[in-house]
Amino acid sequence: MTQDELKALVAQAALAHVVPGSVVGVGTGSTVNHFIDALGTHLRGRIAGAVSSSEQSTQRLRAQGIEVLDANDVESLPVYVDGADEIDLRGCMIKGGGAALTREKIVADLTRRFICIADESKYVQVLGRFPLPVEVIPMARESVSRRIRALGGVPKWRQGVVTDNSNLLLDVGGLCISDPEAMEAEINQWPGVVTCGIFARHKASLCLLGTPGGVRTLTF
């Protein structure tokens, strides 16, 4: 199976975890696009709407006839479905390749169950092979970069990309994230950092992993 076929497979499997009549948290990215299309095909009219983590996903949800609610109007969500750039053996993730990490964390914080959908190439023993996105306010780009270098990381400004929050992104290579919780807490406290793409505090509850043999379910 191709990688895109694996993404479609796990997106379809995620429908079984959507609570009928509820508002669904919806993430961002190519795998989630398959999930949004599946929602529109199979569950439109059977859910109360969605809270979206990006303008891109919002447009796609509305095109499928699904109402998008503001996160401020929702107290909690039973399920949030999103992809990951990497997910480790404990369900901690690196996210933000699609530049939506801050809003993804906000939606994740509202939810009771984070369902990660990914193909098997994203499953790793230790996070860090995929460059870690860090969202920063523009005036802090260089000061945060210096702090990253002091940690042993190699920051690269994702030029030409501005987040939905009008901020900049640094992609950090050279890290071996053996303690995701500690690194997330360290980077997030730096002045000028909006958030980093480590999802350890908001890790996955369950991962639907696409493999050539079918969908593998991992529970954390």
Active-site annotation, residues: 104
CA distance 207 to 95: 14
Please, what is the Cα angle at 179 between 157 and 104, to 5 degrees?
55
Q: What is the DSSP letter of 17?
A: G
What CA dihedral angle connects 58, 63, 67 and 72, to 10 degrees? 10
Q: Which position has the token pair 């030029």?
A: 159
CA distance 167 to 101: 11
What CA dihedral angle connects 124, 157, 185 and 153, to 10 degrees? 60
Q: Decide: 127 and 215 in contact? Cβ < 8 Å.
A: no
Sequence-distant contacts of 36-43: CB under 8 A, at least 24 apart:
36/60, 36/61, 36/64, 36/66, 37/11, 37/64, 38/11, 38/12, 38/14, 39/15, 39/64, 39/66, 40/64, 40/65, 40/66, 42/15, 43/15, 43/18
